[in-house]
Amino acid sequence: MVQKNLLKAKHTVVVAADGQKAIQRLAEQDFDLILMDIQMPVMDGVEATKRIRNGDAGADKSNTPIIAMTAYAMLGDKEMFLAAGMNDYISKPVDIAALKEVIEKVMTSKKG
């Protein structure tokens, strides 16, 4: 659903099945933004984010904006994701209007 809506809005979407593949894809090409699922096989989104921030995809990619997308909505989860290096957070099920607002906020602050 999210992918379909992003494509409809003329965004290019590249999907990675797990955090390890996300790091690999980021190392191979540039992205304006990463929507990082928290629960993934092989390597979860928190670990993948920490590795991206540590330069595992390349030092020039370590500041790529990352938005957490997760079903976790417990008190303190957002703070945990931000502490891991994510720029923002949106809970699932994803409201497309809210996602657009978060993307706009993150991308505006990147230009900032």
Query: What is the average per-residue pLDDT within 12-37?
Result: 96
| Mean pLDDT for all residues in the chain | 91
Q: Are 23 and 17 in contact (CB under 8 A)?
A: no
Q: DSSP code of 95?
A: P
**Helical (H) or strand (E) element with 101:** helix 96-111
- pTM of structure: 0.92
DSSP string, 4-68: HHHHHTT------SSHHHHHHHHHHS--S-EEEESS-SSS-HHHHHHHHHTTTT-GGGTT--EEE
What's the pLDDT score for residue 62? Answer: 97
Q: What is the pLDDT of residues 49-89, one digit of tens each?
A: 999 999 999 999 999 999 999 886 677 788 888 899 999 99
Q: Which two tokens stand for residue 35?
A: 């929507």
CA distances, 82 to each of 8, 25, 72 (Å): 29, 22, 13
How far apart are alpha carbons 35 and 6 in whole angstroms?
11
Mind listing the domains of the chain with CATH numbers? 2-111 (3.40.50.2300)
Residue 92 DSSP SS3? coil
